[in-house]
Chain A
Amino acid sequence: MSRSIRALIPLFLFAGLVALLVFGLGNDPRKVPSPLVGKPVPDFSLPELTDPSRSVSDEDLKGKISLVNVWASWCNSCRAEHQALMALSEIPDFQIVGLNWKDESRDALTVLRMTGNPYDMNGYDPDNTVGIHWGVYGAPETFVVDRKGIIRYKHIGPIDKQVWEETLEPLVAQLKAE
């Protein structure tokens, strides 16, 4: 190795370190990958939010493609996401199943009454009994579940146009073709 190249080695090392740190800065530490992706949905059964005499369970997630959306009336990002969900509820390819998380049913029902109800059904989980089994640690989170009831993807944070078009829509199309 010639002397001049050797002298540049620290520079290369430094550039590598900078690249690594820049990459690290771009990562959001709040987005913890879910170990549930690729696994069947956890068994659960919850009362339905709008009609507590009915229940929502893992059986309801089989046979159809589902978006399982974790939300709460106290969650601001969920409010921002609501319009997107309303638009998605028009699409017949999948059902939207809500997991109303750590919420008061009265407040949750008010939100649905005032801003519309995009959900085909809603599990009511005020005490986070089911949320823990799904590995939920914030709202909103959205799981994409295939027809066999396998979790295929977890999106953390609100769904917007970009997330839908770039990530979720192609995934749903793929699941539909399976």
Chain B
Amino acid sequence: MSPLIKTLFLAAALALGTAASAYTLEEFEFDSPQQQQEFRELIAKLRCLVCQNESLAGSQAELAQDLRNEVYKMMRAGQSKDEILDFLVSRYGDFVLYDPPLKPSTYILWFGPFVLIGIGAVFLLRTLMRKKSTTDQDLTDEDRERLRQMLTAEGGKTDQPS
């Protein structure tokens, strides 16, 4: 790719990128930059349930738009972040949160990987320890002597270039 095309491509990508991220905030007006910031943070924490790998902030789905409106309305009505999150969780379940909350039903999710790593580590250590301790102990002096004889006998039998 020539440098010019590369530059143009990059410029286009950047322009499109900003357009896409600006889209969701254009329709809303805020009293203060803090409020806008808070709104941004909030919708980034929430999952769009139609397109499940997108947050409300990034999704163009209609449902995401409705939910953004709802979050906006609640915010303007003076409700706190937690109140808004609680409301959405009470309607859509924990799944609407990108970060699953820590509670008994999600313990496996949070701690499972560490438990698995722990089990793996125990097995690894045990195997390593056993290897270390067996190498020396298994060979008695008699064994060593036999091994030595075998190795020398073996050496005598090697093929030689004729």
A interface residue numbers (CB < 8 A to B): 29-30, 32-36, 42, 102, 127-128, 131-135, 137-138
List the B side residues contacting A32 at CB < 8 Å: 49, 92-93, 95
How far is it, in angstroms, between the C-alpha of A32 and the C-alpha of B62 when the chains are bound?
A: 18
Q: A132-B66, A132-B67, A132-B70 are in contact. Are A35 and B52 (CB under 8 A)?
A: no
List the B side residues contacting A34 at CB < 8 Å: 92-93
The interface residues of chain B, by DSSP majority, are classed as helix
B32 CB–A CB distance under 8 Å: no
How far is it, in angstroms, between the C-alpha of A35 and the C-alpha of B95 when the chains are bound?
A: 10
List the B side residues contacting A131 at CB < 8 Å: 66
The interface residues of chain A, by DSSP majority, are classed as loop
Size category of the B interface is: 10 to 19
Count chain A CB atoms within 10 A of each CB in B70, B90, B91 and give the residue with the most.
Answer: B91
Q: Told that A30-B52, A138-B50 touch, could you supply 15 new A-B pairs with CB distance under 8 A?
A: A32-B92, A32-B93, A33-B93, A33-B95, A35-B94, A36-B91, A102-B66, A128-B63, A128-B66, A132-B66, A132-B67, A132-B91, A134-B91, A135-B91, A135-B92
With contacts defined as CB atoms under 8 Å apart, how many contacts are there between chain A and chain B in the complex? 41
Task: Pick from A29, A30, A35: contact of B90, CB below 8 A.
Answer: A35
B89 CB–A CB distance under 8 Å: yes
Smallest Cβ distance from A149 to chain B, in angstroms?
Answer: 17
Q: A29-B52, A32-B49, A132-B67 are in contact. Are A137 and B62 (CB under 8 A)?
A: no
**Across the A-B interface, the 8 shortest Cβ-Cβ residue pairs:** A135-B91, A137-B49, A128-B66, A35-B93, A32-B95, A135-B92, A132-B70, A137-B63
Smallest Cβ distance from A18 to chain B, in angstroms?
Answer: 16
Interface residues of B in 6-64 (CB under 8 A from A): 49-50, 52, 62-63
* A102 near B62: Cβ-Cβ < 8 Å: yes
List the A side residues contacting B89 at CB < 8 Å: 35
